[in-house]
Chains A and B, each alone.
Chain A
Amino acid sequence: GNSVTQMEGPVTLSEEAFLTINCTYTATGYPSLFWYVQYPGEGLQLLLKATKADDKGSNKGFEATYRKETTSFHLEKGSVQVSDSAVYFCALSNAGGTSYGKLTFGQGTILTVHP
């Protein structure tokens, strides 16, 4: 079956530091990959996505590249801000009749950024 593994948190950084959150996946075929972010008391918001190998998703300074050879989709940001403090989820969605509307999530990584 499909699975997503994220680096364990929590991750604590100072403002303007470089961020990497590792994400690897197991899936058959060619899944689509997503990063979602959850702020306290809220639902999930899409941060970025990639739907085929070597695609790079980017948004708000965050980037992730779909690497099929290493089955990875690591999230990076060059300079984090206090406002980036949140929980980050890596997720995949696979094609096929048993996968309609189904996202498989990693366990989430808590990020705290200090001034």
Chain B
Amino acid sequence: KAGVTQTPRYLIKTRGQQVTLSCSPISGHRSVSWYQQTPGQGLQFLFEYFSETQRNKGNFPGRFSGRQFSNSRSEMNVSTLELGDSALYLCASSSQGGHQETQYFGPGTRLLVL
């Protein structure tokens, strides 16, 4: 099976712009989670989608949003970018999003905000 894929791998944006990141889960996986990784805050949970519904959300401002399509592919959007949004954004997929399941991570999208 192909692993989790994320596009693009690298992005450079300027403050105030918006950005959309894409994630394709492992075939058959219906749960997709997103994380932000920064040197200062570490790995933080953004949100989780299952069957096109957001089931769980972390403590991030409303500028961070996401969606999931019927084929389980997911996108996340960040509007009005700030310098502090520079980070590695990771998505992960699992079969059902259950707490005993392994989450499989993609390689990440590295976002730099200038």
Contacts and interface: CB of A to CB of B under 8 A. Distances in A.
Contacts of B108: 42-43
Given A104-B45, A107-B42, A44 B90 contact: yes
A62 to B, nearest CB: 15
B45 A43 contact: no
A93 B50 contact: no
A108 B40 CA distance: 11
Given A101-B94, A103-B33, A105-B42, A93 B56 contact: no
Chain B, interface size category, equals 20 to 34
Interface string B65-82: 000000000000000000
Given A42-B107, A43-B90, A43-B107, A101 B48 contact: yes
Most buried by B among A32, A46, A102: A102
A44 B33 CA distance: 13
B90 A100 contact: no
A99 interface: yes
Interface residues of A, number: 30
Contacts of A98: 56
A99 B35 CA distance: 14
Contact of B99 (A93, A105, A107): A93
Interface of B: 4, 31-33, 35, 42-43, 45, 48-50, 55-56, 58, 90, 92, 94, 97-108
Interface of A: 31-32, 34, 36, 41-46, 49, 51, 89, 91, 93-108
